[in-house]
Amino acid sequence: MSAFGAAGLAPAAAPPPGTAIARAPRERTSAWPLLDRLAYGMCWAVGVGLCLIALGIVLYMLVKGVAYLRPSLLVEHPAPSAVQSQSGGFLDPIEGTLIVSAIGIALAAPSGIALGTWLAEYRRPAWLARSVESAVEIIAGAPSVVLALFGLLIFDQGYLGFLSQTSAGGGVYGRSFLAAGAIMAVLALPLVVGATREALTRLPNQLREASHALGRTRATTIRRVLLPAIRSDMATGVTLGLGRIIGDTAIITILLGVSLTTEPVGSTPLIGALRGTGSTLTSYVYANSPAGEGSAPQKAYAAAFLLLLIVLALNGLVTWLSNRGRGGGERGRAFALLRFQWLAARPWR
């Protein structure tokens, strides 16, 4: 029996004679009491049900998206019209999504990584570390509408008028790409902090000890050894944050105004656009759904399909990054070794 089994496997894996592993026959569910069998069936039903729901959403959006998405929609500006065929495309919302996510990530990535590093590597004094941890948790749980309202309170202060537009009477509008991007950064921050912190705490201590033994200071160790070793984890956190930013609607409708087209302020090309208002794909979908003002379900479906494609792509990216990160245990260590050699050859760095 065992000889047959071993013959099927690679010869190198064959156990020495006399050490055949005895396995109990797989326990059969049919022998269980009825209640347990019912519960087992429910587990399967739930698992398959979740797959079906996800498949349903993706397929439904695919059918609607293929039916209504035209290449011309991607390059036309939205136009106010009651007729769906004349209400233009969503070039401006795509631009808006890009601008807002660029600002949000540009702010959230460095500060999130720095904060995660402090939480994992320094944590002095301890009470400060604990309260900062819970503060990050509060930010992660804060409803995005509330964050948006808080943003409005900050950005309509008189001295921040340069970030949005100032009306003739001296009132500050408080709504602009800069304002929305800044609050979006707050939304993405906990994800970046969490990913960085978890990855740093998982790194083996020998890395730090070896680097200190080479005479590196803490800051140098972090910058030259630890952060390079967790590069893919940081990228995962940033990508998750990006997904959160792209999917949020509440902050956009409250902090970016309701116009569907990009409305720059003043004549300076880039700064003007950033100070101005506009829309993103999410607010475009909302505005064109029956719940919004212009009811154009076909446009809403097309834009939502594009949004879903972006989310799927980001999901794939996260899977790819975390697969790379999983090999990272070994690879990260090998990489760190290379860095040590590089550092040892350059004592002045």
- Give me the residue label for tokens 């720095």: 114
- Per DSSP, helices labelled H in 267-296 are 269-275, 281-288
Least separation in angstroms between CB 273 and other proteins? 23
Q: Distance between CA 55 and CA 324 in Å, rounded?
A: 26
Does the footprint of other proteins cover residue 155 (CB under 8 A)?
no
Does the footprint of other proteins cover residue 149 (CB under 8 A)?
yes
Q: Distance between CA 6 and CA 8 in Å, rounded?
A: 5
Among 5, 9, 20, 46, binds other proteins (CB under 8 A): 46
Q: Distance between CA 12 and CA 50 in Å, rounded?
A: 42
Least separation in angstroms between CB 31 and other proteins? 8
Does the footprint of other proteins cover residue 68 (CB under 8 A)?
no
Does the footprint of other proteins cover residue 219 (CB under 8 A)?
yes
C-alpha atoms less than 13 angstroms from C-alpha of 83 in its C-beta half-sphere: 2
Does the footprint of other proteins cover residue 334 (CB under 8 A)?
no
Least separation in angstroms between CB 343 and other proteins? 13
Which 70-109 residues touch other proteins, going by CB under 8 A?
Answer: none
Which 174-213 residues touch other proteins, going by CB under 8 A?
Answer: 186, 198
Q: Quick one: residue 266, left, alpha or beta (phi over 0 = left, psi -120 to 50 = alpha)?
A: left
Of 308, 298, 292, nearest to 253 (Cα)?
A: 292
Least separation in angstroms between CB 73 and other proteins? 16
DSSP-derived letter for residue 272 is: H
Q: Are 318 and 233 in contact (CB under 8 A)?
A: no
If the CB atoms of residues 47 and 327 are measured against other proteins, the closer one turns out to be 47
Does the footprint of other proteins cover residue 311 (CB under 8 A)?
yes
DSSP-derived letter for residue 291 is: T
Piece of 79-87, 204-212, 245-253, 264-272 that binds other proteins (CB under 8 A): 245-253
Piece of 8-16, 29-37, 327-335, 337-345 that binds other proteins (CB under 8 A): 29-37
Q: Are 280 and 65 in contact (CB under 8 A)?
A: no
Least separation in angstroms between CB 119 and other proteins? 7
Q: Distance between CA 34 and CA 128 in Å, rounded?
A: 54
If the CB atoms of residues 61 and 103 are measured against other proteins, the closer one turns out to be 61
If the CB atoms of residues 45 and 334 are measured against other proteins, the closer one turns out to be 45
